[in-house]
Amino acid sequence: MYFSPTPCDIDTGKLDQAADDMLDIVARITGKSGDLEELFDSAAMEFSDLIAEGIRSTANDNHGAWTSALTACWHVWGVVTKWSGDVERYRANIAGLQEEWDSAISANFGFEHDDAGMVEARRALAGALNDRARGYWETLVEEAGDNSANLEGGPTVANLRELVDAGVLGFAAYNATRQIMYYPSTFDTGERDAEALLPYLIGDKEPDDEYYRLLEQLAVVNALAADGKRKGEHLRDYQIEYLEEFYAALDEAAENGVVGLPEELDGDHFSASQREHVLGTLGDGLLVLSDERTGGEYDALPESVRDVIAGSGDVKGHGAGQALLDWQSRAAGLGELFAHADAGMEGGAEFSTRLMAVAANEVDGFSFMEDSNGEGDSVMSDFLNVATRNNDANYALVTGEYPEGVEADLPWNEDSPEDYHVRLLERLYTHDWDDGGEAVRGITDWVADGPAEGDDDTAGQLREKVLEELTILMEDEAFQDSMFGTGKTVTDEDGITWHDVSAGQLNPQLADSFADIFIVFQDAFANTDGVPGNAPLGHGEGVELTSGGRVAFTQLAMGDPDAADKVYGEALLRTAGAMEEFSTNTGEREPGANIEAASLQTLVEVALLNESTTREANDQEFVDYRNKVATSAVNILGGVAGDAEVSGLVVELAKAVAGEAFEVSGNSAKPHVELSGEWVKSERMMGYALGAAAEQDPDLMAELAEEGIAKRDASGDLYVPPDHSTWEKSGSDAELSKYYGQIDDRPWPDGESNTREAVEDFVRDFSHAQEKWEEHIVDENGNKVERS
């Protein structure tokens, strides 16, 4: 076997001649002579600089025609020049392989002449070299196809950009057309553009065409980064170099660095909209430069930005107060850059994690200083709004590490406490945010953004991991103490003042985020594995959550009435849906849905009870909050039923469940509670059974409709409300007793028992599931309550 690469018969001389012909045409168009090849990479800033003095006026008068002609020439010259270079590169690669083969032959492949191993060594090397040569040839063929397509396509923006990216064309196409997409961003132009832009920013020059070109140039690089990131591609090296040098030069030239620019823009040399635009564009560029997925990194950011993100430091002694104020002023500048950045732009993992860390460490002091100016903690909210866009950083804050494959440093190291990231999360969750937790909820919002089942993709696994870690954290005694005893005071809309409130009550947006996660992952919360008295975790599939962690997680959502309504309503609908399925199923009876519905509802009721109990020792307030949530959830159910295409039976069942969900006796310090216990033994269960029978018996349903008992839901279907008090009939309790007496011995739809026995079976399964959660009920001091 021998080394036998594919020969390349392309005559590069003809390609080079075609390029020279284009130079001759350019000489005629421009009226210039000499080194015309240099003209193709000219750094001239105006079209007129490209044209000889003698024909300049004519060229300017016919600018469109001249630029079109020049652009066509540059395009052809660029393609044939690139093509010639591609061929020469192939030949150079093959020559290198040939030299490697010839050297091996001279050395007899490392063996004696009569050694049998020489044949095998020759075969192995020939195979390897031929494979590499084949790869070079395939690349050349692909490049030839691309070059042909580029030439046939003409001087479009995309085709010229290919030549710019390949390093064949420099500034020529841009200088001829002034179209920004042709503009090549390089190391040198970044520094030059920053120096050219600064006079506009500080008010030394009025915005003109050059100002808008400079700003649009930065915007184009930002847009290319965003587009490439969606495709999983980095910016070109020279584009990252452009950004790095642009911000480094701006940082050095501006009096207080990049973070001081918002203050420089406070003068009257910019309108409000101009100011917002330039700050947003500068902020976008910082995010691009920080992002590992665009080719950037944290260390590439300008020094003034990294100094702010490093925090105020341990300032003490004389001048400490001024030093802190100076840092806060610079932080406010950086916050303004981020506040105006595009909502779709995202910073890198390390940048975002460090930004969340500095927000956690500085927010209390920052808020204290800023409150006197009426600004509160808006700057730290701006930090979090940007930082939480990066889910790798969110993941790291909860779990302590980045997801696999993320190449970035963490802001905690061997010198940090073992649970440093937990303390950061705790500070963020328990701070009294002016926005009610709107910014901080971004740490977890993404966990609810997707399906909870069938998640075998990486994003789904990361979401599940964060949920598991959150529930584990919620069981940690120190973390739980801080989350349910923030030391803060809240006065609600009813004028009641609550002391030492939970993080969910303090920051209702955080509670709402947890509620969204609960709803998406309700199957995991309903799963009975891990519940006291059941099989331990580890035997099921998907995400598995500890029972104590589930209660604490859900209790945090119960801190806000609106979030509690969402969670409680979802649990009630699940119970009612299980009852509907139980009453209409004609196949084999499967109690799993009933038991999981009971488990979920009881979990929610325990969490709501615990939140209510720990709020205040006053009985009335204890009862009021719980009842307020229950009543509101029932009202919401009625309002959304039609939109959600939920049957009237399900809605009425859910209302019946909520109507008798709690029976409270004793005092709030030692509450004795039957969680959803009594309603399943009441007349409502008789009404439920009557509705189930009517679903199977059209004649009975017709009779009940004629009697005014059966109603129509939003879809026009008949159903029997399980609560006879809503039938609007005198003596409705007697009517219920009469009809129930007629159907109590009828076969249940699944054929496994009669109506009375089926109802008793449901009650039994429901009650057993509930009892297992009751050991998690606590008093207002967090102590477990003995059940009666």
pLDDT for res 497: 80
Cα distances (Å, whole numbers) of residue 45 to 157, 177, 185, 200, 245: 19, 11, 14, 18, 20
pLDDT at 663 over 50: no
Residue-wise pLDDT for 17-30, tens only, equals: 887 777 777 776 66
- Average pLDDT of span 162-185: 64
Residue 241's φ and ψ, nearest 5 degrees, are -60, -35
C-alpha distances out from residue 65 to 27, 60, 303, 564, 722, Å: 16, 10, 47, 68, 82
Q: How far lies 407's CA from each of 297, 356, 410, in Å?
A: 10, 18, 10
Average pLDDT, rounded, for the chain: 80
Q: Which of 152-156, 233-237, 311-315 has the lowest mean pLDDT?
A: 311-315
Q: 3-state class of 470 per DSSP?
A: helix
Q: Tell me the pLDDT band of 674, cut-offs 50, 70 and 90.
A: very low
Q: With 70 as the cut, is the pLDDT of residue 259 above it? A: yes
Query: Residue range 50-74: average pLDDT?
Result: 63
In this structure, what token pair is assigned to residue 468? 């598991």
- The predicted structure's pLDDT at residue 619: 42
Contact 281, 330 (CB under 8 A): no
pLDDT band at 653 (very low <50, low <70, confident <90, very high): low
**738 Cβ contact list (under 8 Å, min separation 6):** none
Instruction: Note the pLDDT of residue 664.
Output: 31
In the 8-state DSSP scheme, what is residue 7?
Answer: P
Of residues 290 and 583, more confidence is placed in 290
Residue 133 has pLDDT above 50, yes or no: yes
Which ranges constitute the DSSP H helices of 340-485?
Answer: 349-370, 378-387, 391-399, 420-430, 442-445, 458-475, 477-484
Spell out a b/e string for 322-356, using b for 16 or more CB atoms within 10 Å of the CB, else e: eebeebbebbbbbbbbbbbbeeebbbbbbbbbbbb
Q: Residue 671's pLDDT band (boundaries 50, 70, 90)?
A: very low
* pLDDT confidence bin for 398, thresholds 50/70/90: very high
- Looking at the chain, the number of H-run helices and the number of E-run strands are 33, 6
With contact defined as beta carbons under 8 Å apart, do 258 and 335 qualify?
A: no
The full 3-state SS of 585-654, as one line of letters, equals CCCCCCCHHHHHHHHHHHHHHHHHHHHHHHHCCCHHHHHHHHHHHHHHHHHHHHHHCCCCCCCHHHHHHH
Residue 331: predicted pLDDT: 92
Furthest-apart CA atoms within the chain: distance in Å: 114
Report the SS3 class of residue 229: helix
Is the pLDDT higher at 49 or at 314?
Answer: 314
Q: How many CB atoms lie within 10 A of CB 85?
A: 16
Average confidence (pLDDT) over 458-464:
83
| Lowest-confidence segment of 61-75, 215-229, 436-450, 502-516 by average pLDDT | 61-75
Whether residue 180 is predicted with pLDDT greater than 70 in this model: the reply is no
H-only helix segments in 371-457: 378-387, 391-399, 420-430, 442-445
The token duo for 88 is 């020469």
Distance between CA atoms of residues 511 and 415, nearest Å: 33
Model confidence at 244: pLDDT above 80: yes
CB half-sphere exposure, 470, CA atoms < 13 A: 26
Residues 6+ apart with CB under 8 A from 152: none
Residue carrying structure tokens 């808020």:
367
In SS3 terms, 557-581 reads as HCCCHHHHHHHHHHHHHHHHHHHHH
Higher pLDDT, 485 or 38: 485
Lowest model confidence (mean pLDDT) among 303-307, 476-480, 664-668: 664-668
Residue predicted with more confidence, 444 or 101: 444
- 613-623: b or e for each residue (b if 16 or more CB lie within 10 Å)? bbbbeeeebbe
User: What's the confidence (pLDDT) of residue 787?
Assistant: 55
Q: Are 557 and 563 in contact (CB under 8 A)?
A: yes
If one compares 225 and 657, the residue with the highest pLDDT of the two is: 225
Q: Which residues face 784 on adjacent strands?
A: 778
Helix, strand and coil in the chain, % to nearest 5: 65, 5, 30
Pairing of strands 672-675, 662-665: antiparallel
First to last CA, the chain: 89
Residue-wise pLDDT tens digits, 105-132: 887 777 777 677 777 877 888 888 888 9
Local confidence band at 52 (pLDDT 50, 70, 90 cut-offs):
low
Q: How far is CA 459 from CA 371, 465, 631, 656, in A?
A: 39, 10, 37, 39
Instruction: State yes or no: pLDDT of 320 exceeds 80.
Output: no
Q: What pLDDT is attached to residue 122? A: 79
Of 658 and 311, the one with more pLDDT: 311
The predicted-structure confidence for 496-534, as pLDDT tens digits, reads as follows: 788 888 999 999 999 999 999 999 999 999 988 888 777
Confidence of residue 780 (pLDDT cuts 50, 70, 90): low
Highest mean predicted confidence (pLDDT) among 276-280, 652-656, 698-702, 738-742:
276-280
Torsion of CA 419, 423, 426, 431, to 10 degrees: 180
Q: Which of 282, 276, 110 is nearest to 193 (CA)?
A: 282
| Domain boundaries along the sequence of the chain | 12-173, 185-338
Q: Are 736 and 686 in contact (CB under 8 A)?
A: yes
Local structure of 291: helix, strand or coil: coil
Using an 8 Å Cβ cutoff, are 777 and 784 in contact? yes
The dihedral over CA atoms of 248, 250, 256, 260, expressed in degrees to the nearest 10, equals -110
Q: According to the per-residue pLDDT averaged within each range, which of 202-216, 286-300, 411-425, 724-738 is highest?
A: 286-300
**Cβ 366 vs Cβ 427: under 8 Å:** no
Please indicate whether residue 48 or residue 718 has the higher confidence score (pLDDT). 718
What's the pLDDT tens digit per position in 619-632? 445 556 766 776 67
Per-residue confidence at 237, pLDDT binned at 50, 70, 90? confident
Percent of the chain with pLDDT over 90: 27
Where is mean pLDDT largest: 178-192, 549-563, 650-664, 741-755? 549-563
pLDDT at 418: 78
Q: For residues 542 and 454, is the Cβ–Cβ distance under 8 A?
A: no
Q: What is the tens place of the pLDDT at every residue in 400-457?
A: 999 999 989 999 877 777 789 999 999 999 999 999 999 999 999 999 986 555 445 6
Q: What is the mean pLDDT of residues 389-401?
A: 95
Global pTM reads 0.75
Helix, strand or coil, per DSSP, at residue 754: strand
Q: In this predicted structure, what is the pLDDT of residue 402?
A: 94
Q: Which residues pair with 718 in a beta bridge?
A: 712
Q: How far apart are CA 716 and CA 549, in angstroms?
A: 42
- The number of CA neighbours under 13 Å toward the Cβ of 643 is 5
Distance CA 686, CA 780 (A): 37
Q: Across residues 533-562, what is the average pLDDT?
A: 86
The distance of Cα 484 from the centroid of its chain, to the nearest Å, equals: 27
Listed range (89-98, 347-356, 492-501, 646-655) with the worst mean pLDDT: 646-655
